[in-house]
Chain A
Amino acid sequence: MRKPLYGLMAEFETPEQLVRAAEAAHHEGYRKMDAYSPLPIEELHHAMHIPDSPLPKFVLAGGIAGMIGGFGLLYWIAAITYPLNVGGRPYNSWPAFIPITFETTVLLAGLTTLVTLVFLCGFPMPYHPVFNVPRFKHASRDRFFLCIEAEDTKFDLQRTKEFLRTLHAHEVAEVEI
């Protein structure tokens, strides 16, 4: 009995070939697929119709939390729990709180960026089926890969393989789970 397949992986030599292949695959109706490249390729996002990353929204929320939290902390220290009367000046001396409020804003927004990035990518993920393809180690060096996943409704081992061959793929490999 054959092992279940994760998908079919086509290898390309240049970013342009990969972009064209991804475009063609999307045009053909394939949706559950992913492209792998050693460098970011902006055109690929358009070719695969990848939606804009929601990351900035999380970062904005983190930054606002840091801003409110930071200012709130200072207000609470200076005006509520530990008020010091310095020559009758107001306890809520807000201009003096701005530098720290700025720093806590950046701190929380920055940490949120890291956490959100790791979360959105599903990291840490030490195992993934694509690593089973021996040639895939070139995806972090000099080669470009397009993997059409078996879960896709249009996926058919023979037909998808032939389709990938028409795209001038250097090699088409079966990806085992």
Chain B
Amino acid sequence: MEKVEKGTLTAQAGPDPMLAPGHSYATVTDKIAAVPLEVGWPKFWIVGFTIAFSILMMLLATITYLVLKGIGIWGVNVPVGWGFDIINFVWWIGIGHAGTLISAILLLLKQQWRMSISRFAEAMTLFAVACAFLYPALHTGRPWVAYWLLPYPNTMSMWPQPRSPLLWDVFAVSTYATISLVFWYVGLIPDLASMRDKAKAKFAQVAYGLLALGWRGSARHWNHYEIASLVLAGMSTPLVLSVHTVVSFDFAVGLIPGWHTTIFPPYFVAGAIYSGFAMVLTLAIPLRAWYKMQDFITMKHIDNMCKVMLATGLIVAYGYFMEAFMSWYSGNLWEQFMFKNRTTGPYGWAYWFLILFNIMVPQVLWLKKARANVALVFILSLVINIGMWLERFVIIVTSLHRDFLPSSWGMYYPTKYDWSMFIGTMGLFLTLLFLFVRLLPAISIFEVRTLIPRAEKGGSH
């Protein structure tokens, strides 16, 4: 008779467990650690990495040309001075938010299902932030002096403007990248020790050993470690909310119709989590199939992620509705024109596709059958990724291309370099991701161990 001890972490029993039955500490460790240590170079990895790496080379070629010629090779010009660079920056930063949500907010809420997906969701955060970072740095036109954005004593005797949301953004994004890296690394330490102890090759032992810092699973260390994780989660939670809030301030603090609204911060944060979960699903579904990780990333995980998408998608829908309502209710001529232009103007098609992709189609997720259909969920995740990209396109381009005076109206057309740079960042993202799954345990081993039911067989004291 198995009696589950009170107060210990246990996997949920039932038809949709968070960990397939029949696992022990040893099998969990062996199976997850085998991906970097024993699986080696499967065909899908080589093919996938080759494609991703080729796209990354396209990015490097684009950046080289960009640095040589200047940002005139992009489609940005008066009146649309913010084009793909800011659209893609916001898109990538938003994608990163799901990783922190899963690792920090769900940790504080004691959601055990986060454990098997947190590691690679956090990796996804780091890589998405790396992609996002490229855009503002290159948009300065002189990326070699991008450090001018930081406040430091210099011979020009100049300082950045601390009242500007653009400087807030510098601090928010760099803090976010740093703390995400710290959180990710701290989470990796016990698993790096497992990898060190399991590795057979000398090089792998030394490399994992150095990174593990000498972790030996001491109870005294776990004591510090658990509180450190909790503290980091506690800090990352407001941090992640602040990052997209500050990103939305880049717009909301400006006076442009369609940007100057107070709903932007919550609506941007919800949109970020929405797109981030879509990206987690886009990555998790093929990964679990290729590496046969269905035991760890179960249908329960997919189901929960779909529900989070559904909820955040509805918050986003509320944001769209409020934008429409406020443009009417404010009685402001420019706001009303902006909304009319956004829905029926030259970029009206983008708005209606965004409504279709972000609001209409994902309503399928109300059905349990739809959430249980992995192929459908995968397609939906792609649809939402595109929808959220269109949202940023609509917000940025439709507000800018109709200036206050009709004499300064214009159109924005991305050039081939805009596209090669955007697709190129996907190459960077996927290259880093392929290297990550090849070199590090993609699922947190020690956290999955805590999901194993701890059965107490008649204690004797």
A contacts, CB < 8 Å to B: 14-16, 20, 22-23, 34-42, 44-45, 48, 50, 52-53, 55-56, 59, 73-74, 77-78, 81-82, 84, 86, 93, 96-97, 99-100, 102-104, 106-107, 109-111, 113-114, 116-118, 120-121, 123-128, 130-131, 136-142
Contacts and interface: CB of A to CB of B under 8 A. Distances in A.
A37 B246 contact: no
B223 A50 contact: yes
A36 B162 contact: no
Interface string B136-175: 0000000000000001000001111111010110011001
A55 B227 contact: yes
A38 B446 contact: yes
Interface string B187-212: 00010011011100000000001100
Contacts of B30: 141
Q: Is the interface of B mostly helix, strand, loop or mixed?
A: helix
Interface residues of B, number: 67
Interface stretch (B43-51, B328-336, B356-364, B448-456): B448-456
Q: Which of A35, A42, A103 has the most CB of B within 10 A?
A: A103
A86 B164 CA distance: 12
A16 B158 CA distance: 63
B231 A113 contact: yes
Given A16-B454, A100-B171, A139 B217 contact: yes
Contact of B162 (A22, A100, A137, A140): A100
Contacts of A109: 231, 235
A140 B232 contact: no
30 contacts: A16-B5, A36-B218, A37-B217, A39-B446, A45-B222, A45-B223, A53-B223, A53-B227, A56-B227, A78-B162, A82-B158, A97-B163, A99-B165, A99-B168, A99-B249, A103-B168, A106-B235, A109-B231, A110-B175, A111-B178, A111-B182, A113-B235, A114-B182, A114-B228, A123-B215, A126-B210, A128-B214, A137-B197, A141-B25, A142-B25
A131 B5 CA distance: 31
A51 to B, nearest CB: 8
B110 interface: no
A16 B456 contact: yes
B220 interface: yes
